[in-house]
Amino acid sequence: MIRLELRDTAFKVLEILDREAFNLAWAYSRIGGCGEFRFGLPRRLFEEKSISGDFNIRIYWKNPETNNLDLWYQGLVEDKIPSVLGNNETIEISGHGYSSQLRRIYIDETFTSTELSAIVASIIGTNVSADTDIVFDASLIATTGFTPDTLDFNDDAESAIQKCADIAGGIEWGVDRDRKFFFKANDTDVGFRFPFGRNITNFTEDVEFRSIVNRAVVQGAQTGGTYYASTHNEDTSQLKYNLRTEVLQNSSIITDAVAAQYATAYFSEYATPQRRANADLINYEALLEATTPIPLVDLVEKLITYGTRKYGTFLYSGSVNRQINRVNYKLTNQNSLEISLDFGKKRPTVSEEFSRILYDLDQQRSASL
């Protein structure tokens, strides 16, 4: 059972929508936390005036073990689209989790000899929580162990947080279903075990070599009329895959120590081929992101063996641990829940590539200030 609530900006319940809503879908991402949502309502044109921007959307799930309605997702309304097709009138509501509010806050500050998690805590606790609906909880911000000598920010809060995560490496961050901001190291423990055929179906994988980077030219901010730049190499990857260079723009970097840490963190993700996979999850209905960070998934693979029968006609031959990058939820018209999983980094879409270009341009602008 799913409960869909509409609340105002003061979080007062306005309507319960689950009986009339259709095409309800939402997502959770390793980077960002609660992602986008959408659903439709069978309402006439102009009847959507009771729904406004930044109104709160909550999705609850009835826990079969406790019979309680557990909060599964929380986001805010960003778009409403009335549609009239013949005699059929509907309104589509869409929006995003509360990490989208990070883009609304501007950070213009320099941090000296401050550990990265303390920088993140300062940004969220001092700048973000006061002017957004994002809740600051210091216990959800993990120590990184790296203290940059100097970091200079001239960005929105989302870009500033992403820079800290990029420099630290192996971080997932975002805003969870309780609107609490988190910044934690990736989980290295297996939390889910899904056999092929029983839980995993429609599996596809892409091993991409074009994204390998083993030489990084880090370009930073301008100091004394000169732009910071340094070059870093990952020798093992270069020997195996030949030289592959990328320019990394980060306007907050002005020292060698920070640039070296940034390049090392980048190599940890991109010095080897990118493994991406998609799968549908069946016979499972529970909150995958119940804890942050999301644990690894153990995919138990199967091997067809002549004369051997185990779990039908398959012999389970081994397992592969994978990191969930994104969970996609969809409620069908039959009121059943469909779950699909994205493992590894997704190939960037055209819009994401365009956003990356805009990001690089913004870094160049920030570096010159």
Average pLDDT, integer, range 61-73: 88
Residue spans per domain, the chain? 2-99, 105-186, 190-208+274-343, 215-270
Q: Cα(62)–Cα(60) distance, rounded to whole angstroms?
A: 7
Weakest-pLDDT range from 188-192, 262-266, 320-324: 320-324
Q: What is the mean pLDDT of the chain?
A: 87
Fold of 105-186: Phage tail protein beta-alpha-beta fold (3.55.50)
Expressed in angstroms, the distance from the first to the final Cα of the chain is: 53
219-235: per-residue pLDDT in tens? 988 877 788 999 999 99
Q: What is the mean pLDDT of residues 321-329?
A: 92
Rounded mean pLDDT, 143-169: 91
The confidence score (pLDDT) of residue 251 equals: 83
Helix (H) or strand (E) holding 233: strand 226-233
Q: Is 216 helix (H, G, I), strand (E, B) or coil?
A: strand
Instruction: Give tens-digit pLDDT for 269-315.
Output: 899 998 889 999 999 878 899 888 999 998 887 654 444 444 444 44
What mean pLDDT comes out for the span 86-111?
94
pLDDT per residue over 81-93, tens digit each?
988 888 888 999 9
Residue type, 300: V
pLDDT of residue 56: 98
Reduced to 3 states, what is the DSSP secondary structure of residue 258? helix
- State mean pLDDT over 54-71: 91
pTM above 0.75, yes or no: yes
Looking at residue 324, what is its pLDDT? 93
Q: Mean pLDDT across the stretch 179-198?
A: 92
Residue 260 or 252, more confident: 260
CATH class of 2-99: mainly beta
Cβ burial of 88 (10 Å; 0-12, 13-18, 19+) is: exposed
Instruction: Give every CB contact of residue 177 below 8 A, 6+ residues apart in sequence.
Output: 34, 71, 72, 73, 74, 289
Main-chain phi, psi angles of 303, to 5 degrees = -130, 125
- The rounded distance, in Å, linking the Cα atoms of 13 and 128 is 25
% of the chain exceeding 90 in pLDDT: 60
- How high is the pLDDT of residue 355? 43
Contacts of 211 (CB under 8 A, 6+ apart): 270, 273, 274
- Distance, in Å, from the CA atom of 181 to the CA atom of 143, rounded to the nearest integer, reads 14
Instruction: Return the sign of the alpha-carbon dihedral for residues 343, 345, 347, 349.
Output: positive
Q: Which residues pair with 27 in a beta bridge?
A: 328
**Residue 233 C-beta-side C-alpha neighbours within 13 Å:** 7
Per-residue tokens: 145: 């162990």
Please give the C-alpha separations between residue 76 and each of 96, 120, 134, 279, in angstroms, as whole numbers: 6, 23, 11, 28
Best CA proximity match to 248, nearest among 305, 169, 181, 193: 169
- d(CA 161, CA 85) in angstroms, rounded, equals 43
d(CA 111, CA 153): 8
C-alpha to C-alpha distance for 188 and 30, rounded to whole angstroms: 14
Q: What value, to the nearest 5°, has the Cα angle with vertex 141 and ends 221 and 6?
A: 105
How are beta strands 245-249 and 215-223 bridged, if at all? Answer: parallel
Summarize the confidence of residues 311-320 as an average pLDDT. Answer: 52
Contact of 128 with 227, CB cutoff 8 Å: no
What is the per-residue pLDDT for 313?
A: 46
CB count within 10 Å of CB 307 equals 4
Domains 2-99 and 105-186 in one fold: no
Predicted local confidence at residue 1, as pLDDT: 79
| Residue 63, pLDDT score | 82
pLDDT tier, 117 (very low <50, low <70, confident <90, very high otherwise): very high
